[in-house]
Structure 1
Amino acid sequence: MSNLYLSGGGDKEQTYEIDRVFAGELGSGKPLLYVPIAMNTAHISYEDCYKWIYSVMDPFGITDITMWTNLRGKTSKDLMKFGAVYIGGGNTFSLMHDILQSGFSSQLTTFIDEGGLIYGGSAGAIVMGSHLATCEHMDNNDVQLRDRSGLSYLGDYSIWCHYDTDNDDLIHRFIDTYSKPVIALNEETGLQVKNGRMEIMGTEPAYVFDVDKMKKRVEPKEFFSFS
């Protein structure tokens, strides 16, 4: 799997370097698709979500942005009109529920296989991993999602966002329960995935936990492989 960008869920100042590289790869060709459906609109409206993504991308010259707030009925043909998809944060379980119910996972896989870019921020990053239980300490499963499997775009790795060293015991418990390695991203850390290898992005290191719970620090611009 290639052309994937993940961020740990920081604000636009914290993710500036990650967003800059992503926008540079998107360029000024096809428009950007923004999918904010993980957000609880009782607290933040979709209108405000759009204003936010525009404020993030405008400094990099990306102003042609379309927002989808419902994935039902969307086809691969619809998706291929875009150069990249940005899937935003919110409730991870709700996001995955909507992706599965709409059949959008197959559209995403086709899109990235055809050379499209996908950016996942926070919940949008977690669903790209192998298991969603990395968000259980933050997100309620109000949609009663039974299958906690993610899209597995990074092999067996699961993604832990908003990472802090206080989370280490929770990560160990996750590994004990699910036997999945974890890539932990704090709010200034991102990950670019291309052709079976990953590069750490942003201004802070990532931390990789293997299935034996050994923790490795990986610095920005450092590579490691998952294939």
Structure 2
Amino acid sequence: MSFYRKLALYSDQEIPANEEMDDRLLRLIGRPQPRIGYIPATSDLERAYFQRKADYYAGIGANLAVYVDPSQETSEAEWKTLLSCDAIHLSGGNTFSFLSWLQRQNVLPILTRYVSEGGVLIGVSAGAILMTPSVDSALLCGDVRDEPLIDHAGLGLVDFHFWPHFNSDSVTRDQLRLSSTIPDLYACPDGAGIVIDGNEVELFGQVHRYDFGEIRPTSHED
């Protein structure tokens, strides 16, 4: 990647095991009480999930301040406000329908430019998968292709794939078969995650790495 990246990829976010990664996220943003914009995977007109996430960020000293709803038209002024935030949060949900909406609204190049200009991108589960070269790994956590996609390409902000909600004690035969088709796959249980700071890849928690189904050492094990 030719530009400096600041990314945080969470499996899940609202559990105590994420405290270390939350602290690292705040250092990555580098501003007191940062403003964070929110892009949900699906419409949240009652703002129930938004409010829960706002409470979460308030608890770590951040302000979830801007919301964009995929079921409504977003004005140029609203996009401008979102892109002025210190960080943007991409929520969890169905990765395929999330990507379909982002494709239809031509949001992917907007987010790439945001990161290239120094913005921090935060992804939780589906939101994290969207940062990778393709969203095929979403099948590993049960996402269903429920909408037509232009293609399965993600943002490509990292050169690896992401498997959220990984549980080494309950991997199925189908998951093993599918994982054997995906290169450079980081499997993250809830409470684990990855921070990208420039060219540095920082792992938090018990992150496992697979390459076409073969177990590979992580940077903690090299």
Report if the CA contact (8 A) 1:32-1:85 is conserved: yes
Pick closer, same or farther for the CA change 1:186–1:98 going to 2, 3 Å: same
Pick closer, same or farther for the CA change 1:63–1:197 going to 2, 3 Å: closer
Residue 139 in structure 1 maps to residue 143 in structure 2: yes
Partners of 2:130 and 2:221 in 1: how far apart? 22
Q: Which residue of 1 aligns with 2:49?
A: 49
Q: How does 1:148-163 map to 2 (within 5 A)?
A: 148-155=152-159, 157-163=160-166
| CA offsets 1:102-128 (integer angstroms, 9 cap, x no match) | 111111111111111000000000111
Partners of 1:196 and 1:171 in 2: how far apart? 30
Report if the CA contact (8 A) 2:7-2:121 is conserved: yes
Q: Supply the RMSD in Å over aligned alpha carbons.
A: 2.6
Tell me the TM-score normalized by structure 1: 0.81
Residue 97 in structure 1 maps to residue 105 in structure 2: no
Give ranges in structure 2 of 5+ residues lacking alignment. Answer: none
Tell me the TM-score normalized by structure 2: 0.83
How many residues end up aligned between the 2 structures? 213
Q: How does 1:112-131 map to 2 (within 5 A)?
A: 112-131=115-134
* Consecutive aligned runs of 4 or more in structure 1 exceeding 6 Å deviation: none
Shift of 1:196: 2.1
Shift of 1:173: 2.3
Q: Name the amino acid aligned to 1:51.
A: Q
Report if the CA contact (8 A) 1:133-1:148 is conserved: yes
Q: Percent sequence identity over matched residues? A: 21
Partners of 1:53 and 1:92 in 2: how far apart? 18
Of 80, 88, 91 in structure 1, the residue corresponding to residue 91 of structure 2 is 88
Give ranges in structure 1 of 5+ residues lacking alignment. Answer: none
Shift of 1:217: 5.0
Partners of 1:78 and 1:40 in 2: how far apart? 19
Report if the CA contact (8 A) 1:40-1:90 is conserved: no
SS of 2:66's equivalent in the other structure is strand
Q: Name the amino acid aligned to 2:194.
A: L
Q: Name the amino acid aligned to 1:205.
A: Q
